[in-house]
Amino acid sequence: FHQACSPFIQTARCYARPVRRKRKDIPSHLDDLPPTMLKKDYANVPIINSVDDVVKRLLSLEMASQKEKMKIKTQQLVEKVRRSPHDNGSSEVQVAMLTAKIRTYEEHLQRHPKDKNNRRRMLMDIDRRKKLLAYLRRVRYDTFENTCKQLNIQYSLPPPYSRRITKRWVVKKAFCLKVFREARKLKAPERLKQRREWQARARAAKE
């Protein structure tokens, strides 16, 4: 024997149901890779042109994982900035590899904003890339500009150093100035004596 539920109880039950939020489609930096492109390990195999279309589809990026797509994307970014075909460790190549990793972390954190571990890794990679770009900007400015342009990186200068003024810092600075002035007073007679000797040598040289 089931008693009919009142409309109030039915409304309360519907209200208590968890509301499922629809996930927004976040654009990825891997979207420009064509699905018909072959994976990195099979792209240069000579026999790949004679295999069946089903096999080609299995070896293409359509069936590839995120890791395999990342290999292709990293290779594309490296090809834009590398100095020679055998360049695998220059500053530009390292910046390109870090850029691919940072963009992947950014997309992951948009879906999972509470993932603190990957956020920490992303900040570490951003810091490494900043140091490499600062080095390139100081040593090879033309290469720095080309790297930022090819990889679509907006480089911002670090803020100027500013010290927080505290009472302890003010007292310490005043004490250091006082010690410096006292030391100059003690060394003043000796410096005056040296100056007179230099002047006497200069006069003797002129005569």
The answer to whether position 120 is within a domain reads: yes
Indicate yes or no: pTM above 0.95.
no
Q: Which domain holds residue 178?
A: 166-206
If asked whether residues 122 and 47 sit together in one domain, one would say yes
CB-based contact 80:96 (threshold 8 Å): yes
**CATH number, domain at 73?**
1.10.287.10
If asked whether residues 144 and 176 sit together in one domain, one would say no
Residue 163 sits at φ, ψ, to 5 deg, of -100, 140
The residues facing 38 across adjacent strands are: 60
Instruction: Give the tens place of pLDDT for each residue, 110-157.
Output: 989 999 999 999 999 999 999 999 999 999 999 999 999 999 999 888
If asked whether residues 85 and 144 sit together in one domain, one would say yes
Dihedral sign, Cα of residue 195, residue 198, residue 203, residue 204? positive
For residue 3, the 8-state DSSP code is P
Identify the pLDDT of residue 28: 76
If asked whether residues 50 and 143 sit together in one domain, one would say yes
Q: Which whole number is the average pLDDT over 183-198?
A: 90
Instruction: Give the tens place of pLDDT for each residue, 57-74.
Output: 666 766 677 788 888 888
* Cβ partners under 8 Å of residue 144, min gap 6: 133, 136, 137, 155
Per-residue tokens: 126: 């951003």
If asked whether residues 125 and 180 sit together in one domain, one would say no
Where does the chain show beta strands of DSSP type E?
A: none
For residue 65, the 8-state DSSP code is -
The answer to whether position 147 is within a domain reads: yes
Instruction: Label residue 24 by pLDDT band (50, 70, 90).
Output: low
Identify the pLDDT of residue 72: 84
The answer to whether position 35 is within a domain reads: no
pLDDT of 94 strictly over 50: yes
**Structural domain count, the chain:** 2
